[in-house]
Amino acid sequence: MKTLENIQGSRIYGRRHGKPLKKASAERFETFFPRYSIEVDENAFLDPLTLFDHNPKNVWLEIGFGKGEHLIAQAKQNPDIGFIGCEPFVNGVSGLIDQMVKEDVHNIRIFMDDARLLMDALSANSISRAFILFPDPWRKKRHYKRRVVSPGNIAVLSKLLKPGSELRIGTDHHDYCRWILARLLENENFEWLSDGPADWHIRPPDWPATRYELKALREGRKSAYLTFRRKSS
């Protein structure tokens, strides 16, 4: 079982330059992380519906939830949905747990590792909506291979998402926006839901803001809100 002590001492899980957790947050982490965390077995597929106690009608996945503002808002708005959040950094996971405890939210499960490890373990057609919101654009060309929106990850998402499901991606980086569109449009399993600029220049009302988006707005950068549909076979 992972604990805060052995996670923070790990090259894989710890944020190398993250701030130490405050005492109350550290205590909540130690108490609640084991209750809400996900472990995967590389030799077996995972049905995400089995992770929850409230028999959710569907499961939604957020890849890289930061401090969890969007994830917690969606979970509160959709109590009949089960949510999985992937985030490798301790500070972000701790921030989400703080919000879950304070706001009495129980329909979230957490995978604190590389999201691809979980994606490869999930059963096909098991996710009804996925979010990738304001991922690191990795601006230098030699770092493009680190971008979470990649042909390989999109191919895996196309297997995980049920036909008709949505994949929502937000970014404030114009070059990365073009990259995202190119990667999704070259995959025959997705279609872009857009009739004009207003469809992706304005955040939909059921798409809660993240701190990264709000920071971009304060600094004068406009964001793109891209929605794709998994085509039916």
Residue 87 φ/ψ region, left for φ over 0, alpha for ψ in the -120 to 50 degree band, beta for the rest = beta
CB distance 203 to 224 below 8 Å: no
* Cα gap 170→158, rounded to integer Å: 18
Catalytic site includes residue 120:
no
The full DSSP string for 90-110 is: HHHHHHHHHHHHHTT--SEEE
| Annotated catalytic residue within 47, 80, 114, 136 | 136
Print the SS3 string covering 124-143: CCCEEEEEEECCCCCCCHHH
Phi, psi torsion values for 20, nearest 5 degrees: -60, 145
* Cα gap 108→72, rounded to integer Å: 8
Distance, C-alpha 133 to centroid of its chain: 7
From 122, 206, 114, 111, select the one nearest 160 (Cα to Cα). 122
Q: Name the residue type at position 181.
A: L
Q: How far is CA 211 from CA 66, 92, 134, in A?
A: 8, 12, 10
Give catalytic residues, as residue numbers.
136
